[in-house]
């Protein structure tokens, strides 16, 4: 299926699989975003003022909401912890979020 995917043609299992693949890609993209924010954050003195400026810059440059920018910065601060990184990359079923009752 090249080009535009026609969702209504897919069966339920195919839709769940497609959503699962998209979620895996979204998580991987988010981890890369956090890595970039962590590198930017490491280049500051990490003061309270820097935190406010970083949030404002994320909002301006990446067009994210204040809440999203704060989450990115918070995750960047925790980035070096292996457990945090592992949980961001874990498949949906391993984190307890089962996709609204998805059958395995």
Residues 37, 58 contacting (CB under 8 angstroms): yes
Residues 31, 88 contacting (CB under 8 angstroms): yes
Residue scoring higher pLDDT (98 or 47)? 47
pLDDT of 46: 84
Q: Count up the domains in the chain and report the number.
A: 1
Per-residue pLDDT reduced to its tens digit, 74-90: 999 887 666 566 766 67
Residue 32 tokens read as: 């890369």
Residue 45 maps to a domain: yes
Residue 6 maps to a domain: no
Residues 73, 66 contacting (CB under 8 angstroms): no
- Which of the residue ranges 5-19, 35-49, 66-80, 86-100 would you say has the lowest mean pLDDT? 86-100
**Cβ-Cβ contacts under 8 Å for 12 (sequence gap 6 or more):** none
CA distance 5 to 9: 9
Residue 49 maps to a domain: yes
- Give me the domain span that covers residue 24: 11-90
Q: For the whole model, what pTM was predicted?
A: 0.67
Whether pLDDT at 47 is above 70: yes
**Cβ-Cβ contacts under 8 Å for 72 (sequence gap 6 or more):** 33, 34, 37, 58, 64
Residue 3 maps to a domain: no
Provide Rg for the chain, Cα atoms. Answer: 17
pLDDT of 16: 95
């Amino acid at each position: 299926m090249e080009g535009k995917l026609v969702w209504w043609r897919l069966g339920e299992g195919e839709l769940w699989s497609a959503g699962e693949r998209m979620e895996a890609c979204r998580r991987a993209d988010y981890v890369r975003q956090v890595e970039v924010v962590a590198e930017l954050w490491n280049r500051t003195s990490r003061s309270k003022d820097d935190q406010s400026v970083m949030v404002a810059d994320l909002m301006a440059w990446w067009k994210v909401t204040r809440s999203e920018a704060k989450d990115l910065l918070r995750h960047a601060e925790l980035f070096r912890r292996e457990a945090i990184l592992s949980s961001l990359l874990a498949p949906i079923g391993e984190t307890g979020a089962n996709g609204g009752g998805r059958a395995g």
